Amino acid sequence: MKVAAIQMVSGTERDANLAHARQALAQAAEQGAELAVLPEYFCLLGQRDTDKLAIQERFGHGPIQGMLAQAARELGLWVVGGTLPLSVSGQPERVRNSCLVYNPAGDCVARYDKMHLFGFDNGQERYDESRVLEAGNTPAWFDLSARDGQCWRVGLSVCYDLRFPELYRQLSHAGAHLLLVPSAFTHTTGLAHWEVLLRARAVENLCWVVASAQGGLHANGRRTWGHSLCVNPWGEVVAQQATDAGLVLADLDMDALLRWRNQLPALGHRLL
């Protein structure tokens, strides 16, 4: 199954970001991808954390969700919509940072609300997602029937989740073959930890890992790390793009995954 990790450098205008995302999805489909994964905050990286409140949508309604559903349907593509801000009932000043999955018919078949909210302060950079975001509390996955007849169970996660291996262990225990990590890692933390964390999640769960990222200097002055990539279950990086917008394409092999799991049956040796 061919998968596309879409790297973006999203700006402060929602509609411009949606146009760039739609174009990238079309390119992924043209190059034979069955599944395309947009990055976290693909629809907006605003001047302030609170800017996302102005574009929040109710689940099932709105232009961001409409674009994702239409693109999936028109392109015949599985689309993972990075993240977008979904409204919290009764709390207009808070949103969920939600990852939505659309099948090639344009139906939303899965929703994951980011569980772990990023916090960082090194004296020069400071981030606290909990000021605007409400955390999710439930792991999520979906089943994808590929064109070759293989059925993939796909686990969902977002960015800072990557530092919490217990989430991925739950996804693995649920039968995941592929783990998705749409992200907007900072340049500072990405330089230090991005690749090693992704490779660790692949190795310890014997899963394919595909991570789509924001990658470059944004209009709001923020610099994201990029390096969207695909890692095989043996921990090898098989495709990667350093910075700037683009596509990372990789062919995922279910037979290879099963072979590695048979050779090293670590998932069956778990005691906890």
> What is the structure's pLDDT at 244?
97
Return d(Cα 85, Cα 63) in angstroms, integer.
Answer: 12
Q: pLDDT of 226-261, one tens digit each?
A: 999 999 999 999 999 999 999 999 999 999 999 999
Return d(Cα 45, Cα 86) in angstroms, integer.
Answer: 15
Distances (CA, A) of 193 to 45, 127, 154, 259: 22, 17, 23, 28
Return d(Cα 141, Cα 147) in angstroms, integer.
Answer: 19
Mean of the pLDDT values across residues 11-19?
A: 98
> What is the structure's pLDDT at 219?
95
Q: pLDDT of 86-108, one tens digit each?
A: 999 999 999 999 999 999 999 99
> What is the structure's pLDDT at 217?
97
- Residue type for 259, please? R
Q: Is 159 an active-site residue?
A: yes
> What is the structure's pLDDT at 193?
98
Residue with tokens 């990852």: 99
Catalytic residue among 57, 114, 129, 230: 114
DSSP string, 108-174: EEEEEE--SPPEEESSS-EEEGGGTBPP-----EEEEE-TTS-EEEEEE--GGGGG-HHHHHHHHHT
**What's the start-to-end Cα distance of the chain, in Å?**
32
> What is the structure's pLDDT at 123?
95
Mean of the pLDDT values across residues 157-174?
A: 98
Contacts of residue 219, Cβ cutoff 8 Å, sequence gap at least 6:
11, 12, 45
> What is the structure's pLDDT at 172?
97
Mean of the pLDDT values across residues 193-209?
A: 98
Catalytic residue among 34, 40, 57, 129: 40
% the chain with pLDDT above 90: 100
Beta bridge partners of residue 142, listed in sequence order: 154
**CA dihedral (190, 48, 244, 20) positive or negative:** positive
User: What ranges do the domains of the chain cover?
Assistant: 2-269
Rounded to the nearest 10°, the torsion over CA 181, 5, 72, 52 is 60
Return d(Cα 145, Cα 141) in angstroms, integer.
Answer: 13
The answer to whether the CB of 36 falls within 8 A of the CB of 6 is yes
Six-digit token string for 271: 């005691």
Return d(Cα 209, Cα 197) in angstroms, integer.
Answer: 11
Residue with tokens 């262990």: 169
Is the overall model pTM greater than 0.95, yes or no? Answer: yes
Six-digit token string for 250: 């990789």
Q: pLDDT of 116-153, one tens digit each?
A: 999 999 999 999 999 999 999 999 999 999 999 999 99
- Per the document, the length of the chain is 272
Return d(Cα 136, Cα 141) in angstroms, integer.
Answer: 14
Q: Is 207 an active-site residue?
A: no
Mean of the pLDDT values across residues 24-36?
A: 98
Catalytic residue among 43, 99, 159, 230: 159
The mean predicted confidence, pLDDT, of the chain is 98
Q: Is 2 an active-site residue?
A: no
According to CATH, the topology of domain 2-269 is: Nitrilase/N-carbamoyl-D-aminoacid amidohydrolase (3.60.110)
